[in-house]
Amino acid sequence: MPYSTYIFDLDGTLLDTLGDLAASVNYAMSTHHLPEHSVDEVRMMVGNGVRKLMERAIPDGAANPCFDETFATFRHHYMEHQLDTTRPYDGIIETLQELKRRGCRTAVVSNKFDAATKSLCNHFFSGLIDVAIGENEAAGIHKKPAPDTVFEAIRLLGVSREEAVYVGDSDVDIATAQASGIPCISVLWGFRNREFLIAHGATTLIGSPTELLFD
C-alpha cells in the first residue's frame, strides 16, 4: 500500500471507546429518567457524532423536551470519563510508530467533538499523530461524511490527496473517503462487521493494524 499519508477515523479504528461512550450515554439517560441501552445497542448508534448518538439514544430524539439537558449531561460526563476504559486496539501503537519511522504523515478526523478528539489523541498518541480534527461546525467544518475534515487535515499536513488513504471502520468512513476522492481501507476490528462494511461499499478490508505496513 504505497501511501505517504494516513488519515484515520478515531472511535472503532484507533481507539476502543465503546465502553466509555455507553457508560456516559446511560449515565445521562438514568439522570434524566430515560431508558438505558445495552453496549451492543450503543455500538449501532455511534459513527455520526455525539449529537446524533444521543438523538438515537433518547426517545423521540431532538424532539424530546429533555434532549438538550440530557445531551449536556452526556457531554459533561464523557469529558470527565473518556479515559476510564478506552484504549488503543492491539497493534495500533506499534503500527503508528512504524509509519512515523518510515516518514509517513498521519492525521485523525473524527465526528467526536473537537475537544475530546484532540484530548484523546494527545493522551494516547502524542508524537504519533500530526493533526487531529473533531466535530466543529461553528468553525465551518462540517462533520463526516462531508469531506471537510479530510480536506482540512490534508491542508494542515501540506500534502496532496494523491498521497493519502483513509482508514476507518464504518459506512460513514467509506462515504467520507468517497466524498474526499481518496481510497478507503476498512478495518474489521471496529464497531461494524465484514458483512455490514461490504454491503456499504467497502472494497479493501484488513483484519490487523499491521496490514497497513505491507507493501
> In the predicted model, what is the mean pLDDT of residues 189-201?
95
**156 in Cβ contact with 123 (< 8 Å):** no
User: What is the C-alpha separation between 95 and 8, in angstroms, rounded?
Assistant: 12
> In the predicted model, what is the mean pLDDT of residues 155-176?
96
CA quadruple 19, 20, 25, 28: dihedral, nearest 10 = 140
- Judged against a pLDDT cut of 60, whether residue 206 lies above it is answered with yes
For residue 49, what pLDDT is reported? 81
Q: What's the whole-number average pLDDT of the chain? A: 94
> In the predicted model, what is the mean pLDDT of residues 123-143?
89
102-126 pLDDT, tens digit per residue, is 999 999 999 988 888 999 999 999 9
For residue 1, what pLDDT is reported? 53
Catalytic residue chosen out of the listed positions 9, 11, 114, 173: 9
Q: Is 9 one of the catalytic residues?
A: yes
For residue 215, what pLDDT is reported? 59
- DSSP-H helix ranges across 82-135: 92-101, 114-125
Enter the pTM of the model.
0.90
| Residue 151's pLDDT band (cuts 50, 70, 90) | very high
1-58 pLDDT, tens digit per residue, is 579 999 999 999 999 999 999 999 999 999 999 999 999 999 999 877 888 999 999 9
For residue 47, what pLDDT is reported? 77
Per DSSP, the three-state class of 186 is strand
**91 in Cβ contact with 207 (< 8 Å):** no
User: What is the C-alpha separation between 105 and 59, in angstroms, rounded?
Assistant: 42
- Judged against a pLDDT cut of 80, whether residue 139 lies above it is answered with no
In angstroms, the Cα distances linking 171 to 108, 180, 201, 203 are: 17, 14, 8, 12
